[in-house]
């Protein structure tokens, strides 16, 4: 199995490259840059962390990739994949896209939230939203990898929404992420002196992952009208913690049982025992999503805490899950990772 990767210089691309290197079914990895750049560049020049790696970043050539590779991953910024993916879509060549370009089915919604031209409707219709625990990627040649916040939020809400255990009008999500979620682009908000020993709210009610969350929630229950979604930047590098609130008339036992049943056969979702809530340290460096549930019978409010590593379960790790599903590999292939300790 030969894999092509576009976008290795970004944080998600770096992590995806590392995962592909250790995947038992991947024999070779070809790295590609933007086709407008005709220069071949040593990987170590673009990403000095890969000391001793002799791999070259080549100009993207769809004909070469489709002739010599079996799949292509795009770990590119929003808008870039739209420019580059057309020949692969036309040929039904396997694509796993970590960007947000093909997650939203409505082009008007994409333009509103991403402030960029949307892909063609015909291309969007071929896209599969690859939330790995709920939508098997087998048979879908274009797989849109979910966003990091969307992954943590949807996994935390799925049992509640699917089994109609909450008031669908009452969902509040307080989502918090480390600085790597903002990517490598320089910004004042992610400068060390701004983030260290600080908390910052950003993109309140306007984060680009909100519409994909709503798109999926409405598939599960069309009675969900909207969610209150707030994002906070944490003074850490990796990790997402969602604290999710909703009104419920179910009992604590019913809520716990719903989560346990939903994820009983999912190797990368761990439902903690009743009374326990997860921390980031338990998942950073892994592809796990850990979920903890608490119920307040006085306020009739259920609290779900959902934690993931944004670069793994929220990006590169889930891309490998979709890769494994598409090609029929073992679900855990290439993803047997350990949490970073201490």
pLDDT in tens, 236-272: 999 999 999 999 999 999 999 999 999 999 999 999 9
- Segment 273-302 shows an average pLDDT of 97
Domain ranges of the chain: 2-147+313-327, 149-309
Helix (H), strand (E) at residue 270? strand 269-271
d(CA 331, CA 28): 20
Q: Quick check: helix, strand or coil at residue 329?
A: coil
Q: What is the 3-state secondary structure (H, E, C) of 162-216?
A: HCCCCCCCCCEEEEEECHHHHCCCCCHHHCHHHHCCCCEEECCCCCCCHHHHHHH
- CA trace torsion 241, 246, 249, 254 (10° rounding): -20
Query: pLDDT of 224-238, one tens digit each?
Result: 999 999 999 999 999
Q: What CATH class does 2-147+313-327 carry?
A: alpha beta
247 forms beta bridges with: 301
148 is catalytic: yes
Higher-confidence residue of 247 and 184: namely 247
Q: What CATH class does 149-309 carry?
A: alpha beta
Structure confidence at residue 182 as a pLDDT band (50, 70, 90): confident
At 283 the pLDDT is 98
d(CA 198, CA 145): 31
Structure confidence at residue 163 as a pLDDT band (50, 70, 90): very high
Question: Which is catalytic among the residues 148, 244, 280, 304?
Answer: 148
Q: Quick check: helix, strand or coil at residue 265?
A: coil
At 186 the pLDDT is 77
């Amino acid at each position: 199995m030969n894999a092509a990767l576009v976008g290795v210089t970004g944080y998600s691309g770096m992590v995806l490259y590392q995962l592909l290197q250790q995947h038992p079914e991947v024999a070779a990895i070809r790295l590609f840059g933007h086709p407008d750049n005709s220069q071949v560049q040593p990987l170590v020049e673009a990403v000095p962390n890969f000391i001793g790696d002799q791999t070259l970043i080549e100009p993207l050539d769809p004909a070469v990739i489709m002739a010599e590779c079996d799949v292509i991953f795009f770990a590119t910024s929003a808008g870039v994949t739209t420019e580059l993916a057309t020949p692969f879509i036309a040929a039904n060549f396997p694509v796993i896209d970590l960007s947000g370009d093909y997650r939203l089915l409505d082009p008007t919604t994409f333009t509103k939230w991403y402030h960029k031209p949307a892909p063609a409707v015909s291309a969007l219709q071929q896209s599969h939203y690859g939330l790995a625990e709920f939508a098997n990627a087998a048979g879908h040649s274009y797989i849109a990898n979910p966003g990091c916040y969307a992954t943590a939020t949807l996994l935390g809400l799925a049992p509640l929404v699917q089994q109609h255990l909450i008031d669908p009008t009452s969902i509040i999500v307080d989502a918090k992420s480390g600085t790597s979620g903002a990517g490598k682009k320089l910004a004042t908000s992610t400068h060390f002196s701004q983030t260290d020993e600080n908390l910052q709210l950003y993109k309140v009610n306007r984060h680009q992952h909100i519409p994909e969350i709503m798109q999926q929630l409405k598939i599960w229950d069309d009675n969900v009208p909207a969610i209150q979604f707030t994002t906070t930047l944490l003074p850490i590098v990796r990790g997402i913690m969602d604290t999710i609130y909703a009104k419920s008339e179910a009992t604590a036992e019913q809520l716990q049982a719903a989560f346990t049943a939903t994820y009983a056969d999912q190797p990368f979702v761990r439902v903690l025992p009743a009374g326990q809530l997860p921390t980031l340290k338990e998942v950073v460096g892994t592809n796990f999503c850990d979920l903890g549930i608490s119920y307040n019978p006085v306020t009739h409010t259920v609290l779900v805490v959902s934690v993931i590593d944004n670069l793994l379960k929220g990006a590169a790790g889930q891309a490998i899950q979709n890769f494994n599903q598409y090609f029929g590999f073992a679900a855990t292939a290439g993803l047997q990772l350990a949490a970073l300790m201490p």
